Amino acid sequence: MTPVIPPTSTSFDTPELIRRTLAGERVPLARAISWVENEAPGSVELLDACFGASGRAFRIGVTGPPGAGKSTLVTKLALEYRGRGETVAIVAVDPTSPFSGGALLGDRVRMTELSGDPGVFIRSMATRGSMGGLAVHTAQVCDVLDAAGFQRILIETVGVGQSELEVAQTADTTAVVLVPESGDAVQAMKAGLMEIADVFVINKADREGAERAAFAIRSALELRAHPTEWRIPVHMTVASQAGGVPELVDRFEEHLVFLRDTGRLEERRRARLEQRLTDLLQARLWSGFRARVGDEAWREQLAALASRQATPHQAAEKLAGK
């Protein structure tokens, strides 16, 4: 799929936006993603249409601490995939601006090497305060990009520590990127990233301590009580020079083959859908509950709690009975 250059019009009704998004047109695709992020009227119809056309793209999560060179690595990964004839979408999840609520870092500015390539689409998304560094609508945006025909979707996350576990719910394959210094290997073990990594990447491997960091990760992996059938590789890269990037892409593709052959890909995607269904139902039930209870009763119970005239359990039971 090679997205075509769209006409200049940027005003669409819902059926037209759906049609042109599924055709891979750039401006409608950007507008569709904005609809999803802002929960605009028509976004549910759009998502329903895109969901039926999704499920074909390979989604790769790239996470790790700030300063690990994730943006540079993602850029080089996209260039490598383009060299192999694959179309690539990049979802760069940035911190939220406290002033505008929009993406703060703007990875599109930093990925100039990819500009002008019709087979690459880059979108920065704000975390909007999400603890996991992943925007609430990231999975839905990936569905839209998948339906638009992109074959590889790279999801780069903020890198805020343990809460990055959420990336595993969004991607088929997760790469954890570390650097030799600052004790990242130890921090990865503490943060639980050992549990979500399908591939470890020691980036900036031309720096001192790279081999030592790789050895620490490999040693920790050997101590896992229940190793999976997939032997998690620890791969060295120098992303600024594209060093090790082709081999890293090979690891990703090998993991995709492993997932398909063992049935794990279907399991992961089913678990992802179950989580999304759970989240949607919880949101709907909570919204309905708050509307039914009303603001007055809610404030009443908050006041009772503040004055210690009711316990949290008693207040919750009273509200639930309404």
280 and 250 share one domain: no
Least confident of 148-162, 228-242, 257-271: 148-162
* Predicted confidence (pLDDT) per residue in 191-220, tens digit: 567 778 899 999 999 999 899 889 888 888
pTM: 0.85
Q: Among 119, 121, 102, 101, which Cα is nearest to 111's?
A: 121
193 and 311 share one domain: no
Mean pLDDT confidence for 97-124: 64
61 and 181 share one domain: yes
Residues 161-173, buried b or exposed e (16+ Cβ, 10 A)? bebbbbbbbbbbb
* Predicted confidence (pLDDT) per residue in 33-78, tens digit: 999 988 899 999 999 999 999 999 999 999 888 888 999 999 999 9
Q: What is the pLDDT of residue 101?
A: 40
316 and 203 share one domain: no
Confidence of residue 100 (pLDDT cuts 50, 70, 90): very low
Q: At what angle do helices 245-262 and 70-83 cross, to 10 degrees?
A: 80
- Whether residue 122 contacts residue 104, with contact meaning beta carbons closer than 8 Å, is answered with no
- Whether residue 220 contacts residue 213, with contact meaning beta carbons closer than 8 Å, is answered with no
Q: What is the pLDDT of residue 18?
A: 96
106 and 175 share one domain: yes
285 and 237 share one domain: no
Q: Residue 6 domain-assigned?
A: no
User: Which residue, 233, 262, 291, sits at the end of a domain?
Assistant: 262
Confidence of residue 149 (pLDDT cuts 50, 70, 90): very high
Tell me the CB-side half-sphere exposure of residue 208, using CA atoms within 13 A: 0
Q: Residue 61 domain-assigned?
A: yes
Q: Residue 173 domain-assigned?
A: yes
**Helix or strand (DSSP H, E) at 80:** helix 70-83
* Predicted confidence (pLDDT) per residue in 261-296, tens digit: 999 999 999 998 998 888 889 888 999 999 999 999
Provide the residue type at 206 as one letter: D
Confidence of residue 138 (pLDDT cuts 50, 70, 90): confident
Q: Residue 187 domain-assigned?
A: yes
245 and 279 share one domain: no
Q: Residue 182 domain-assigned?
A: yes
- Residue bearing the bigger pLDDT, 171 or 275: 171
The domain tally of the chain equals 2
Rg (CA), the chain: 22
106 and 241 share one domain: yes
197 and 123 share one domain: yes
127 and 250 share one domain: yes
Residue 75 sits in a domain whose CATH number is 3.40.50.300
* Dihedral over alpha carbons 306, 308, 314, 316 (to 10 degrees): 10
Confidence of residue 10 (pLDDT cuts 50, 70, 90): low
- Whether residue 163 contacts residue 134, with contact meaning beta carbons closer than 8 Å, is answered with no
Q: Residue 231 domain-assigned?
A: yes
User: Which residue, 221, 238, 262, sits at the end of a domain?
Assistant: 262
Which residues, at least 6 apart from 282, have a Cβ–Cβ distance to it below 8 Å?
A: none
Q: Residue 2 domain-assigned?
A: no
First to last CA, the chain: 53
- Residue bearing the bigger pLDDT, 178 or 128: 178
Q: Residue 175 domain-assigned?
A: yes
- Whether residue 169 contacts residue 138, with contact meaning beta carbons closer than 8 Å, is answered with no
72 and 210 share one domain: yes
Residue 278 structural domain: 273-320
